[in-house]
């Protein structure tokens, strides 16, 4: 069952965290001169940050998709606030920031969390087409207008760019993480099980079409036929000029039409005499089909929650492995002025190791082929590095060490989620590409 896979993944992750916590406790009490205290302290801070990240995330999982989306909306709000406190703003920018906090961030995550079936049934388009352009198109145009309306042109372009970059990283990119909960994630089926990789998509499309057809049939009002058209009646009252109104046809009674054959959609694994899954009646199935277009909130899916957790886990593992590889070989530093601890060997060594871990976790993912999570993990690791070094450059430009003080030893939320923000859009689109390939 899907929930069993999810529990196994969560239990394994927390077991590793417990072992890491015990390992840090033992290392801090060892008096080995070969151990670098700074490295041990960095690892201890990372473990503590992982506990603070995974515990609320798992709690939101069990509360449902709405709680998960709300959690990331709150994280996005706090991350954007940390960013704005670092970059300088003027008093005239407060009006635009007010509308960003009040409207832009809530609207973005509201669109992310809506059920795509409900949204498509109501408006005829996918919510992705709206939330994917809301910020980079419309909000990016409104922010300059709001700032211009404040009648303060000093450093106008610089002030616009600062707010737009913050929205792009802290809100738009981070919004692709909970968007995984509304992505179409089919159950993994091997080619041997179905005979063809195209067949599962055809079956899913047929079942979805049958569901909507059933809803349409249930909502069509009953039509009362005229007495002359009812079964068992003659056609004597037909007009003379009507087609087929000869005397022979008017005198002969119309035979009763046989009852139309009733076709039902059978769910896989159910007996042919039942049109509903085991333990459900036809009325319950009809209600579930109707809920699909009547309820705006998505239904819980352990497969989607597990995919989201896999992404967060891979990003955190990538950060750790890139740091470990960089410590093993401190040559060829990527950008010494911005981040003196990241080397090219650490970047690609960490990405390759992360790819192997992604392949090892293939059982918990919906990817069809075993190498697909490895490719995704490798790309996510490289994009995570890009996020880390970009946000470090912003901190060096502003002359600050951290974005905040929420996480002991690692600053604020944005210090721990910089890699997650940059990797989220790439993971979303690569996953969609692999899961929807023809």
- For residue 323, pLDDT beyond 50: yes
Phi, psi of 87 (to 5 degrees): -85, 140
Place of tokens 């899954």: 277
Please write the tens of the pLDDT for every residue from 210-250.
Answer: 555 555 455 445 544 455 444 444 444 444 444 444 444 44
Quickly state the pLDDT bin for 287 (edges 50, 70, 90).
low
Whether 72 contacts 175, CB under 8 Å: yes
Please give the pLDDT value at position 298: 60
Please give the pLDDT value at position 352: 95
The residue among 61, 38, 29, 180 whose CA lies nearest residue 113 is 180
Report the predicted TM-score, pTM, of the whole model to 2 decimal places.
0.74
The residue among 54, 183, 163 whose CA lies nearest residue 112 is 183
Please write the tens of the pLDDT for every residue from 38-90.
Answer: 778 878 888 888 888 899 999 998 898 899 999 999 999 999 999 999 888 88
Please enumerate in sequence order all residues whose Cβ is within 8 A of that of 7, keeping only pairs 6 or more positions apart, or say none. none
- For residue 367, pLDDT beyond 90: yes
Please write the tens of the pLDDT for every residue from 85-95.
Answer: 988 888 889 88
**DSSP secondary structure of 318-367:** HHHHHHHHHHH---SEEETTTEEEEEHHHHHHHHHHHHHHHHHTGGGS--
Please write the tens of the pLDDT for every residue from 112-154.
Answer: 999 888 999 999 898 999 999 999 999 999 999 999 998 889 9
How far apart CA 428 and CA 425 sit, in angstroms, is: 5
What is the overall mean pLDDT for the chain? Answer: 78
How far apart CA 419 and CA 410 sit, in angstroms, is: 14
Question: What is the pLDDT averaged over residues 266-280?
Answer: 41
Percent of the chain's residues with pLDDT above 70: 72
């Amino acid at each position: 069952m899907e929930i069993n896979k999810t529990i196994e993944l969560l239990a394994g992750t927390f077991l590793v965290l417990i072992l890491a916590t015990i390992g840090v406790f033992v290392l801090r009490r060892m008096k080995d001169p070969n151990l670098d205290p700074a490295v041990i302290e960095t690892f201890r801070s990372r473990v503590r940050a992982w506990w603070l990240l995974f515990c609320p995330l798992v709690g939101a999982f069990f509360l449902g998709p709405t709680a998960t989306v709300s959690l990331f909306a709150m994280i996005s709000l706090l991350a954007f606030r940390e960013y704005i406190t670092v970059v300088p703003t003027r008093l005239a920018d407060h009006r635009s920031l007010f509308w960003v906090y009040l409207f832009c961030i809530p609207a973005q995550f509201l669109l992310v969390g809506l059920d795509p079936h409900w949204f498509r049934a109501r408006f005829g388009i996918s919510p992705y087409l709206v939330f994917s352009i809301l910020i980079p198109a419309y909000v990016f145009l409104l922010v300059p207008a709001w700032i211009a309306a404040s009648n303060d042109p000093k450093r106008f372009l610089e002030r616009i760019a600062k707010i737009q970059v913050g929205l792009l990283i802290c809100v738009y990119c981070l919004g692709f993480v909970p968007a995984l909960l509304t992505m179409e994630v089919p159950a993994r089926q091997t080619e041997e099980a179905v005979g063809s990789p195209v067949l599962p998509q055809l079956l899913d499309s047929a079942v979805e079409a049958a569901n909507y057809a059933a809803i349409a049939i249930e909502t069509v009002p009953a039509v009362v036929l005229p007495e002359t058209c009812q079964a068992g009646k003659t056609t004597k009252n037909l007009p003379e000029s009507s087609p087929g109104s000869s005397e022979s046809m008017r005198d002969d009674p119309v035979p009763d039409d046989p009852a139309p054959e009733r076709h039902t959609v059978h769910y896989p694994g159910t007996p042919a005499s039942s049109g509903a899954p085991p333990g459900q009646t036809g009325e319950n199935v009809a209600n579930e089909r109707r809920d699909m277009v009547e309820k705006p909130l998505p239904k819980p899916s352990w497969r989607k929650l597990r995919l989201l957790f896999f992404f967060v886990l891979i990003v955190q593992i990538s950060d750790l492995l890139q740091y470990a590889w960089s410590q093993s070989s401190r040559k060829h530093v990527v950008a010494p002025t911005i981040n003196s601890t990241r080397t090219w060997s650490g970047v690609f060594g960490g990405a390759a190791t992360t790819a192997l871990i992604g392949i090892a976790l293939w059982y918990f993912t919906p990817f069809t082929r075993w190498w697909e999570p490895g490719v995704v993990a490798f790309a996510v690791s490289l994009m995570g590095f890009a996020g880390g070094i970009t946000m470090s450059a912003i901190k060096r430009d502003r002359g600050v060490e951290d974005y905040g003080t929420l996480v002991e030893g690692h600053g604020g939320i944005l210090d721990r989620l910089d890699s997650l923000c940059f990797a989220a859009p790439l993971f979303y689109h690569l996953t969609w590409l692999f899961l929807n390939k023809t």
